[in-house]
Amino acid sequence: MAAHRQRATSAFENSSEVKRVEPRSKEKKCSWASHMTYSPTVIVMIGLPARGKTYIAKKLTRYLNWIGVPTKVFNLGVYRREAVQSYKSYDFFRHDNQEAMRIRKQCAVVALQDVKAYLNEEGGQIAVFDATNTTRERREMILNFVEDNDYKVFFVESLCDDPDVIAANIMDVKVSSPDYPERDRESVMEDFLKRIECYKVTYQPLDPDKHDKDLSFIQVINVGCRFLVNRVQDYIQSKIVYYLMNIHVHSHSIYLCRHGESEHNTEGRIGGDSELSARGKQFSKALKGFVEEHSLSDLKVWTSQLRRTIQTAEELGVPYEQWKILNEIDAGVCEDMTYETIEKTYPDEFALRDLDKYHYRYPGGESYQDLVQRLEPVIMELERQGNVLVICHQAVMRCLLAYFLDKGADDLPYMKCPLHTVLKLTPVAYGCKVDLFDLKVEAVNTHRNRPLQKKVHSGPPTTFLRRNSFTPLSSHDQVKRPRLYSVDNAPLSRRSHAPSLPMEFSEASEGAELQESLDCFSPGDTDSCAKMN
């Protein structure tokens, strides 16, 4: 803390000398989406306290990281608490408190220096500057910083005049703030409302008609009841607007589970479109009991177009929607194989996948990164809907969980999603509460742990470049096979798998449940990989 305070003072004194910066010295491995940013972007939050700015900032950051754009939040309140140490009352935020105003400006300068370090030296693509930024003077300082460093800037202003929403936000979030240790709810509410009044004295909202008409921004009005969008510059800003216009703040829960155990699961095979095993059918009945027990009468049910999810949903006796984009990851030429067969038939591919499981793309199939891109519309709908039960597949469930639990690309392919288990996800203030329900129906373990030591591939480097997600789907040796059949569409006759990688793939390769034997989220697990029985 002392270092931060010292840095705040020196940064403030020398802030006029901090101008143009060095070229970016460190690059992170990013997705296709990150390359659409062209230059680093600073997202600047604006709004009075208790307007949901931090909620929006954290949620937006989680989304951008999930689609592969390295993003980080810089919350000015954290810097202020480190500089001041203890908060006493709303008097600190009075506009005529000169000492406090000096400290707050110092903290902003330090935070912007950290933004610069993140974007220029740490491989970041987007920095979210989370503060009130309610005056034109403060926003002008940020605009000068952005211009001096050749960044793009996008403002997100949250406007709200609904007293019930403001009061609920104070009670849900501010009562537990570090500013109010061991204070009763009534005194917190009183002090925070006075803090808001201090900001109102100098608040200058964005003016889309005159003063700020040339800026790029979105105004979120009354928690998404209305929006005003002005001068969107590029692809990534349009993604931000699209996302913010889809998130709704409402109480709901999302239930995730895999289909019941399939015949392929019992045989240790990945992908395909097999039917449920006897235990899988037993799970379907148990799932019906779970829905009835929890009185989920208004529940929407979504499945993929593969038989094992549809058969699981049929037992519920309720309407359900089939989503093709919920189909399991496509394992390409490795469809219907066991991992032992893949290792024997395609040893190079087997080794390459362990090197970078998230970006590795099966020949003629998909990578986890491809799957995240495919599932983005599902995330948007889940943000908009009420209670939903998604009956899906292991790789799909991992991608959805990674979004809600804010897991990165290294951990995503190793998250544990066992069969015959239901996860209940309930969004809370700045995160997601998870409840796990084991329906007590035995099933095979389809999980493969993270390799303890990654084998170094000795083959030509072009092999990996061809296989990973950085190469386009249309590259010359990535012939895309027809995608899966559904429950009412019988498969074509299957060709036998060739012992070497073909340039043309089987005509009919059903969906790919890339795992019913994939890996674990916990990097500390050292158990041997589970064998299929």
- The residues carrying an active-site annotation are 130, 160, 259, 328
| Sign, CA torsion 407/413/417/423 | positive
Contacts of 63 (CB under 8 A, 6+ apart): 243, 379, 403
Task: Residue 208: name the closest of 189, 225, 227 by CA.
Answer: 227
CA angle 175, 159, 49 (to 5 degrees): 30
CA-wise closest residue to 145 among 125, 124, 117 = 117
Q: Which residues contact 42 (CB under 8 A, 6 or more apart)?
A: 115, 119, 126, 127, 128, 129, 142, 145, 146, 151, 152, 153, 154
- Helices marked H in 122-162 — which ranges? 136-148
Q: For residue 408, give both structure tokens.
A: 């990165």
CA proximity to 422, closest of 221, 236, 280, 256: 256
Closest CA to 154 of 260, 48, 45, 262: 45
> Torsion over CA of 271, 274, 275 and 276, rounded to 10 degrees?
-40
* Nearest one of 35, 37, 46 to 150, comparing CA atoms: 37
Two tokens, residue 347: 């040893």
Answer for the pair 368, 358: CB distance below 8 angstroms, yes or no. yes
Query: DSSP state, 401?
Result: H
- What would the 3-class secondary structure string for 231-275 be? CCCCHHHHHHHHHHCCCCCCCCCEEEEECCCEHHHHHCECCCCCC
3-state secondary structure 430-457: CEEEEEEEECCCCCCCCECCCCCCCCCC
Residue with the two structure tokens 């897991």: 407
Q: Is 89 helix (H, G, I), strand (E, B) or coil?
A: coil
Rounded Cα distance between 216 and 156, Å, is 9
Classify strands 421-428 and 388-392 as parallel, antiparallel or unpaired. Answer: unpaired
